[in-house]
Structure 1
């Protein structure tokens, strides 16, 4: 029997990619709403309550509304908005975060899809805290760049219609980005990091950077220690997070935020100078893949009891 899936918000960037990834699945029946009825509460409620799994690809307020429309005890929900990301009643949908997170997701009725930026930060920082190499009180800075698709339809249209789009646009310069609570909570930090995101003149793909002043720590770890902690963690979990070999290099020719576009893959790098007691943690992934639609499909697969990597690449 096929699983009935309703993508509430299927016309948006994330919803469209989820639908594309699921289009050829024989084990899934996609429930669709007519374009003219997308804002009709009765029509949405009918489909939300008819679905085995509802995937919400909506602004926060509309996602909260969507959950309130579910009156049964059986529809399971994946919310791609930020409305429930630190809600203790919702499982956090980053399966590789801990050794038991995939099992938690598999049993959950409500799963909050992670934000794009936080995943790279959580993936690089949390294993170091759990290994005792970096304390939770350490002041962290995060720099990141994303393709303009991360800004939704309005930003996509702005970039693609502009004759001179900005090649590099930093934002959130008052340091109150909505992803900060999620970063702090799931990276297990005592304080929110100083987070400075930016948008590049390309459609999708992202990189997060966490610089570390290791000399400020009471016990100063080496670069190889940081790398070993990441490698050990991700060797112990299922999923699609790769830790690149530890290398002492000044540059990597093909290092690019676009290198994993169309996939659910994430690659982590550790760069370090032990003499200067400094390191840089880097995560590379697709902001529309692992950062959004790919993560939603991965969580759907886990909730359905299937292999996590089914239909996680877009041709």
Structure 2
């Protein structure tokens, strides 16, 4: 048994250096092992700078097809063709070109201007309805007039917010092609009786095309029209209206609603307090029809979307 004192052993043990083990991450440990095993010529790749990272352009498209668009393509277009097709117009031979009188040397190489009779423009020709030219909707225009904007321009804000909520259109069209979004209409002429000067903003409108107009029709037919009290339908023009009038030769169907009707849209009804004032508005259905009986065929097309009409 050794006779070394315990105090001496304790002092010698305290002099032994303590080896602390450093914690190395797994990734760096594997990198070091792989670098040691590989050749010395291999170099480690450096991360890309922040400027080289480009975010992908994410565009959220339509999540579903419009039900009213499918209704027109699958059912309504065929029904309109069946109801409005005329075999006589389809089999009618083309008119022979009239014999032009002899022209002078001065008029030989110059276009002849149309002969204007009276103060009315030339009458448009009748558009024959064929399988290639079935009547269809081109666009829907929603327009509202704000008389208070003559004295205070800020009153247009409530109308702009309401039309933007109803149509779903934002400034610059919301990225949709062929859409201009909500537009502010200014006066073209001055009227001293109403204290109106040219260039003053007086109204707001929005034009809907494509799937957006079918979504508006669905909101109008499914949520708004059934809730109107004592609503018989859109009034028809009187039977005494001449068929040669400019309104009858254009395939545009227009009707108006009261300010109360605007509150029935689900986009506005969800938060009515956000709109300090509601306004009346007009709706214009623009179709591809022109010429004789264009207005009657346009009403037939609009009624196919479950919008009623009635005779006064």
TM-score bin, normalised by smaller chain? under 0.3
Which protein is bigger by CA-based radius of gyration? 2
TM-score calculated relative to the size of structure 1: 0.27
**Structure with higher RCO (Cα < 8 A, 6+ apart):** 2
Identify the structure with the greater strand proportion: 1
